[in-house]
Amino acid sequence: MGNFIISNKELQHLAMKVAYKLNYELSTYELRVFADGESKITIKQINADRIILIHSINPPVDSNLIRVASLIHEAKKYSNSVIAVVPYMGYARQDKMFLDGEIITIEVVAKLLEAVGVSAIIVLDIHSDFALQKFNVPIINVSVVPAIVEHINKLKLANPIIVSPDFGGSNRARSISEIVGSEHLVLRKHRDKKTGRIKIRFNKINHINNRDIVLVDDMISTGNSIINAVEILKKNKCGKIFVVCTHAILIGDAKDRIIKSGVEKIISANTITGHEDIDMSSLISKSIKDIISKI
C-alpha cells in the first residue's frame, strides 16, 4: 500500500514535482483514441491508501472529461480516497443560464465526478464562484494570484497598470494591483450571447500614456478578448504590454495572433501542459495536504 499520483501525459511534469514534494509514488495510464473518438484507457493496477489524479479538463474538453471520470471510477476500486486535482476545470464558464433554456453544464460535470466517487476536488482559479458552488464534495479553489504577483514583480516594470479585459476579472485585477502597489483598470467587454462574438468598447484612457500594462485574465482560449483589449490599449498609446493568465488554452494560432497584436510575452500557470512559466506545484501540494485533513 502507499500513496499514488496518476496524471495525464501533458501534466506529468507538474505531477512529478507534486509527487516529489509529497513523497508519493507516480503511476501512469495508457491512452488509445479509437477512430470514432472514444478513449480507451488502461491503468496499472495498484494497492493504494490514497490516489491523487492530476488532470485538467482542457480541449478536447469532452474527451478529457470522460477520461477524468473514468480514471476516478477505476481508482476507486483501488482506494477509498481519490482526490482529483483538476487545474483547469472545463465547462466552468457554463455556470449560469444566460439565455432561456441553456443548460448549466458545470452542474452536470459536478454530478458526474461525484457519481463516479471522487472524494474531494482541487481546482485552480475556477472561472467563477457560481461554478464552485455546484460541487457538493470538499473542494479547494487555489488562487494563482500570489504566484502571478511574484512573476509581475520579476518583470521590474516601472509604474505599471494592471488591466482586466472585462468586468468579470475586476476583482482579480484589483487584488493583484493592491499587492503590487499599482493602479488597475477594467475595460468593458461585451459578448453577444447568441454568437459569442466579443467587442470591447473604445474608451479614451488618458493616464496610460507610455505606461507598461499587465493584462490579466483567468483564461485565454481564442485570444479574442486579449487582442481586442490590446487594440484599445495601443490606441491609447500605452507602453509595453505583458499578458498574464492562469489557463493558457490558446486554441489554434491564438498565441501567434496575440504576440502579433503587440504583446511582449504571454505568462501563464502550468495548468495545461505542466511546463508553463508559473509553477503551481507547491500550492497544489499544500492544498492536497489541506483537503486531506478535511475528508
Nearest approach, Cβ of 198 to ligand R5P (angstroms)? 6
Q: Which of 58, 224, 268, 271 binds ligand R5P (CB under 6 A)?
A: 224
Please tell me whether residue 222 binds ligand R5P under the rule CB under 6 A.
Answer: yes
Q: Cα–Cα distance between 140 and 123 in angstroms, integer?
A: 6
* CA 278-282-286 angle, 5° bins: 140
Count of beta carbons in the 10 Å neighbourhood of residue 32: 9
Q: By C-alpha distance, which of 252, 190, 196, 240 is closest to 215?
A: 240
Annotated catalytic residue, options 21, 189, 199, 204: 189
Helix 170-180 × helix 145-155 angle, to 10° = 50
5-24 binders of ligand R5P (CB under 6 A)? none
8 versus 224: smaller Cβ distance to ligand R5P: 224
136 bridge partner residues:
none
Please tell me whether residue 90 binds ligand R5P under the rule CB under 6 A.
Answer: no
CA-CA distances (angstroms) from residue 32 to 38, 43, 52? 8, 12, 22
* CB-based contacts of 32, cutoff 8 Å, min separation 6: 39, 40, 42
Nearest approach, Cβ of 170 to ligand R5P (angstroms)? 11
Q: Cα–Cα distance between 116 and 208 in angstroms, integer?
A: 51
Q: Binders of ligand R5P: how many residues, by CB under 6 A?
A: 13
Annotated active-site residue 156? The verdict is no
Count of beta carbons in the 10 Å neighbourhood of residue 292: 17
Please tell me whether residue 229 binds ligand R5P under the rule CB under 6 A.
Answer: no
Nearest approach, Cβ of 222 to ligand R5P (angstroms)? 3
Site string for ligand R5P, 143-172 (x = CB under 6 A): ----------------------xx-xx---
43 versus 187: smaller Cβ distance to ligand R5P: 187
Q: Which residue has the cell 470538499?
A: 138
Please tell me whether residue 43 binds ligand R5P under the rule CB under 6 A.
Answer: no
Q: Which of 48, 157, 176, 219 binds ligand R5P (CB under 6 A)?
A: 219
Site string for ligand R5P, 199-218 (x = CB under 6 A): ------------------xx
Q: Which of 225, 271, 281, 285 binds ligand R5P (CB under 6 A)?
A: 225
Nearest approach, Cβ of 113 to ligand R5P (angstroms)? 22
* CB-based contacts of 119, cutoff 8 Å, min separation 6: 80, 81, 82, 83, 137, 138, 295
Q: Cα–Cα distance between 284 and 274 in angstroms, integer?
A: 12
Nearest approach, Cβ of 236 to ligand R5P (angstroms)? 20
106 versus 219: smaller Cβ distance to ligand R5P: 219
Residues known to be catalytic: 189
Which residues of the chain form contacts with ligand R5P (CB under 6 A)? 165-166, 168-169, 217-225
